[in-house]
Amino acid sequence: MSSHHALTARRRQAYLFLAPSLIILLLVAAWPLARTFWFSFTDATLSLDNVSWVGLSNFKNVLQDGDWWTSVYNTLYFTLISVSLETVLGLGIALLLHKSFAGRSLLRTAVMVPWAIPTVVSAKMWSWMFHDLYGVINDLLMKVGFISAPIAWMADAQLSRMAIIFVDVWKTTPFMTLLLLAGLQSIPTQVYQSAAVDGASAFRTFWKITLPLLKPALVVAVIFRCLDALRIFDLVYVMTSNSRETSTMSVYARENMIDFQDLGYGSAVSVLIFGFIAIFTVVYVMGSRVNLVGGSSEKVSN
C-alpha cells in the first residue's frame, strides 16, 4: 500500500468524523438563520399559517419605529459602559492576582462565584437588593448618608440602565480577569527583570511593557465581551421586563416575534441585529489586526 493511498484514506476518515458536527451545525445554525432571513420578507405570524411575501415593508416599519432606535441606543450605551468598566476592573484585579501573595487563591475563588451564578439568578438577587422599599442597597446608602430617602431604582430609565450595567459588571468582570490574567502569565519574567535593571518606574513598566504585551489578550477579551453585551437579553428581561425605555435589541426582537406574534417583523429585527453584529466584528477584527485563528480562541456564552 502506498503512503499516498494511506493519506487519502485518512482524509476520507477525517471527513467522516467531521460529518456529525457539520450536519448538526447546518441544522441548528445555517438553516434557522436562512429561514429567519426568509421570514423577514414575509408577513408570517407565530402560527406560521398563510405566509406571504411582503418585500421590504417589515424593514421599513422597523426603521421607522422609535422603540427600535431606543433599543439600539440602550444596547450601545450598555455595551460601551459595561465593557469599558469590566476591562478596567478586570485588568486591575488581574494585576493584583498576578503578584504572588497569600490571599491569591482566596480572591480567585471569590471572583469565580459571580461567574458561576446563572444570569437570571443574579438578576433576581440584585433586583431584590435594589428593591425600593426593602432593598439592602437603599438601606446601606442611607446609613452612610449618601441619600436621605429611598430611591426607586427600577422606576426611572436612567437609574435602571445604571443598575443593569452594575449587575453585568459584577457578573462578568471575573471572565475578563481570567483572560487577562492568563495574558499576564504568558509574559516572560525576564522582560520585567531587564526593566527593573534599567530602573524603570512601576507606572512606566506598565505602560511601556505590560500593556503592549498584553494587547493580544485584551483584544480577544474585549471582542468576546462586546459580542456578549450586544446580544444581551436575560438581565434586561428579568430586571426591567416590560419597560420600553430600557429594552435592548434582543428584547425588542423577541417581544415583537413572540409576545406580539409578529414573526415576520421580529425576523426583520433579527436580521438587522445579525448584520449589525457581523459588521461590528469584521471592522473590529480588521482594525485590531490580531490573528484570531492562529491563536485559536474559544468562546463560552453564559
Partner 1 sequence: MRKSLIERILTWIAIIAISVFSLFPFYWAVISSLKTPSGLFKIEYWPHSFEWQNYIGIFTEQPFGQNILNSIIVAGSTVILCLFVAVLAAYSLSRVEFKGRSALLLTILAVSMFPQVAVLSGMFELIRTFGLYNHWGGLTLSYMIFTLPFTIWLLTTFMRQLPRELEQAAIMDGASPWIILTKIFLPLMGPSLVTTGLLAFIAAWNEFLFALTFTLSSDARTVPVAIGLISGASSFENPWGRIMAASVIVTVPLVILVLIFQKNIVSGLTAGAVKE
Residues 84 to 123 in contact with partner 1, rule: CB under 8 A: 93, 96, 99, 101, 103, 106-123
Interaction between residue 246 and partner 1 (CB under 8 A): no
Whole-angstrom CA distances from 37 to 81, 178, 264, 266 are 31, 37, 9, 11
Residue from 83, 221, 222, 236 touching partner 1 (CB under 8 A): that is 221
Residue 145's region, left for phi above 0, alpha for psi from -120 to 50, else beta, is: left
Report, in Å, the least distance between residue 85 CB and partner 1: 13
Question: Which is closer to partner 1, CB of 48 or CB of 66?
Answer: 48
- Closer to partner 1 at the Cβ: 13 or 158? 13
> Which region among 40-48, 57-65, 79-87, 204-212 touches partner 1 (by CB under 8 A)?
40-48
3-state SS, one letter per residue, for 211-276: HHHHHHHHHHHHHHHHHHHHCCCHHHHHHCCCCCCCCCHHHHHHHHHHHCCCHHHHHHHHHHHHHH
> Rounded distance, CA 40 to CA 46, Å?
13
Among 144, 197, 286, 293, binds partner 1 (CB under 8 A): 293
Coil/strand/helix, residue 53: strand
CB 48 within 8 A of CB 263: yes
- From 52-60, 64-72, 152-160, 247-255, span contacting partner 1 (CB under 8 A): 247-255
Residue 162 sits in the site that holds partner 1 (CB under 8 A): no
User: Which letter does DSSP use for residue 42 in this model?
Assistant: B
* Binding segment toward partner 1, per CB under 8 A, in 63-71, 79-87, 176-184, 204-212: 176-184
Task: Please count the other Cβ atoms lying within 10 Å of the Cβ belonging to residue 274.
Answer: 15
Rank residues 15 and 66 by Cβ distance to partner 1 and give the closer one: 15
The 60-89 site mask, x for binding partner 1 (CB under 8 A), equals ------------------------------
- The stretch among 52-60, 80-88, 133-141, 204-212 that binds partner 1 (CB under 8 A) is 133-141
Q: According to the binding rule CB under 8 A, does residue 182 interact with partner 1?
A: yes
For residues 4 and 139, give the distance between their C-alpha atoms in angstroms, rounded to a whole number.
75
